[in-house]
Amino acid sequence: MPKPLELTSSQFQDGMPIPMAYTGEGEDHSPPLHWENIPPGTRSLALIVEDPDAPDPAHPQRTFCHWVLYNLPPNAQSLPDGATPEVMPPGVRQGLNDFQRQDYGGPMPPIGNHRYFFRLYALDTVLPDLGRPSRAELREAMDGHILGEAQLMGTYQKMHHRRSH
């Protein structure tokens, strides 16, 4: 069997804390990402970063979206640290996150330790220009086109909520 699509970061392991530099408390850069084992027939990739624990992990009410990317070319294997449109592979488009921004918005949880899911999708098509799609609009456009999916989950809790002892 072919190996499943895999998504990793050099800055944090799956299930581990995301370094502060990649959050709203730090430089708010997107973390470097790397992927392998693209399924045969993949024509584009999409990435959604979301937090299902908003606003409070004890009482989650919604999934908060931090980044929406689509039409990543299949020959690209990574996104650099702080991936701005200038350094992204050609053709990549950004949707709208729940900060109402198109760029990456890092973790900034109001309370508790939240989980942040980086979800990579391999698609059998290149999507049309969707404008600035929300997470829901991108999911709808991807429906029926997903050949493979990978996820990387990092956690983050605001520093100033931690006790000093």
**Over the stretch 111-134, which tens digit does the pLDDT of each residue have?**
999 999 999 999 999 999 999 999
pTM equals 0.94
**Position 1 in a domain:** no
Domain count, the chain: 1
**Position 95 in a domain:** yes
Q: Contact, 153 vs 118, CB < 8 A? A: yes
CATH number for the domain spanning 57: value is: 3.90.280.10
**Position 77 in a domain:** yes
Range of the domain at 118: 6-161
6: nearest Cα among 107, 160, 113, 151: 151
**Position 21 in a domain:** yes
What is the mean pLDDT of the segment spanning 8-24? 97
**Position 101 in a domain:** yes
